[in-house]
Amino acid sequence: MKNRNRLTAATGILIVLAFAAKWLFKSEAAESGLLLAASLIGGFPIAASAWQALKVKVISIDLLVTLAILGAFVIQEFEESAIVAFLFLFGAYLEQKTLAKTRSAIKELVEMVPETALRQTADGDFEEVDLDDLDEGDIVLVKTGGKIPVDGEVVSGSGTANEASITGESMPLDKKPGDPVYAGTILENGTIRIEAEKVGDETTFGKIIELVEEAQDSKSQAERLIDRFSKYYTPVVLLLAIIVGLISQDLELAVTILVLGCPGALVIGVPVSNVAGIGNGAKQGILFKGSEVITKFSKVDTIMFDKTGTLTYGDPRVSQVKKYGQGQLAEQLLVSVEKESAHPLAKAITGYYEDLEAKEVEASQVLQGGGIVAQVAGQQVLVGNCYLLDQYHVPVTKQMERDMEELASAGNSLVLVAVNGQLELALGLKDEIRAGVKEDLAALKKLDVKNLLLLSGDNQKTVDLVAEELDLTEAYGQLLPEDKAEFVKRRQAAGEIVAFVGDGINDSPSLARADIGIAMGSGTDVAIETSNVVLMNGSFDRIPRALALAKATRRNMIENITIALAVVAVLLVSVLASSWMNMAIGMFVHEGSILVVILNAMRLLAYRSKLQKSRKLIENNFSQAAGPYTKGIESIQ
């Protein structure tokens, strides 16, 4: 079995020598001897595979071919037995080579990881060590053109890193002290020192490789169905050949049916499509968690979106502040509370009040969907929305209500601050809608998505403004995380196939509940664990790309099933209704059909949606137009 490829070559050479003996030297004895040797040499590894399968009670394709070769021996058709053995072995060799190409995404990803790294020693020098010897906290040196070996933070130096292996984007990013870097990315220029935070399999890149490997090895419902079908189909072909042989008393016809009925293309057609589709997605920073995800995603008719960080950039700015009573003290208490939070709105508020000194927060509690309740300098501080004020029975005057209405009508998200049960501040924060989102949503509609819903914890007026601008089907505001999950459940109960798009953290109940959860983000652990599809760089245009790729993969899978069934049907009809079909031709067509479905699936490796093609054309045209100006600026610099 280890020498299977050499035996394949030997079988082919013996067949060529046999034909040479017949045509050049007119020696039928030499021809028969050489063909007999070719049949034996080629038949042994096939018979060994069949025996291994039989030991675990599986009737395999190898068994059908082995019986066909033995049958040809009995009727002394050595030419056909030799050719059948060679074509089967050679076909398996070609399958192995072409299937390896469909797994090119894994190979390319693995090759992005360096084998060694330069680690700082106690005396400040750097030594080359194996990647497995790195630990968290180590300082690693990366020079121009080097592969970054760890997830970590730049502690000194600067440069530009190509993070295409993580995000799918080829544009390099500037890196300076304090910036994060990821294993598997390339430092295109510069020299940096990195403090390792994650090493080995724990890095984002390690998790991506593991995820893609698991996805490519997983089986969809269609694959499992075909596996069950082939498990019974192969014995049926064997039984059919025996019945035909007994009725017709024609052993050659029975043996030919064994060869023609092999379901090779049918068995391999679906998994190879899924592997190629998953590989294409990985190159673009789109991670599908298995082939079942692709099939289900391709049928989605309803997509629900969170607002902040999904339809918008998630980088809001304070636009207006309404003050009541002791506003200045409230602002200081607000900053104290928000400096403890990592929420996008908290970052905006602390940035707006960067000159205010924070007080020590004595205790804090997050009220999910409402905000934060904290104790600061002996005072109770509430920071959140109207729901939070209602829970703590904070009185709101008519003027305060009008102010909130005004802020909401202008498209602001509201942050309300109450101190000791009294409303002191109402802040309006605005977040820009992502560029190109409207066009991407239109592309989703063209991909047969009927319902586009916005579900947000923000106030209804702000949500309505966003929905109107983006031409969404429906929009609902002031929702808690559990309310969003309930929305998903109701639409599923109505027969819709629902995808939910969120940031993978606050929206985890909805992501888990939806038929397809899509996480927007930079590959955080929570995003990878919670969702079915991960968009590594958080770019919104990856959503229509992912859906188009899922539909193309499912279409390709159906094409392969059709090709496989059509070939088997044509071969079986030909052997029963014509005189030209024989074992050798049947095996040639059988192996050819396997290669056809593999090559058809490989088209997915280069698949690009119409949206991608049009954007690429715009980028190319812009680059050509901007070329002279760019060169002029470079020469001035």
Q: How far apart are CA 49 and CA 248, in angstroms?
A: 30
Q: How far apart are CA 2 and CA 18, in angstroms?
A: 26
Return the CA Rg of the chain: 32
Q: 446: which 2 tokens?
A: 């063209």
Let me know: does 549 contact 609? Beta carbons within 8 Å. Answer: yes
Let me know: does 432 contact 411? Beta carbons within 8 Å. Answer: no
Q: Which of 306, 431, 458, 541 is catalytic?
A: 306
Q: 575: which 2 tokens?
A: 């052997």
**For this structure, is 403 an active site residue?**
no
CB atoms within 10 A of CB 56: 7
* Neighbouring C-alpha atoms within 13 Å toward the C-beta of 421: 1
Reading phi first (left if > 0) and then psi (alpha if -120 to 50, else beta), residue 178 is in left
Q: How far apart are CA 256 and CA 244, in angstroms?
A: 11
Residue 107: closest CA among 527, 605, 551, 537: 605
List beta partners, residue 158.
191
Q: In sequence order, which ranges of 369-475 are alpha helices (DSSP H)?
A: 386-391, 398-409, 437-446, 460-470
Angle between helices 4-23 and 78-102 (to 10 degrees): 140
Q: Environment class of residue 171 by beta-carbon count within 10 Å: exposed (0-12), middle (13-18) or buried (19+)?
A: exposed
Which residues are CB-contacts of 275 (< 8 A; sequence separation ≥ 6)?
Answer: 99, 102, 103, 216, 601
Q: 267: which 2 tokens?
A: 């068995």
Label the pairing between strands 451-455 and 474-476. parallel
| Vertex 618 angle, CA 279 and 553, to 5° | 25
Q: 436: which 2 tokens?
A: 């190109």
DSSP 112-180: TS-SEEEEE-TTS-EEEEEGGG--TT-EEEE-TTPBP-SEEEEEEEEEEEE-HHHHS--S-EEE-TT-E
Q: Which residue do the tokens 């089986």 mark?
A: 219
Q: How far apart are CA 418 and CA 383, in angstroms?
A: 7
Q: Any idea which residues carry the catalytic annotation? A: 306
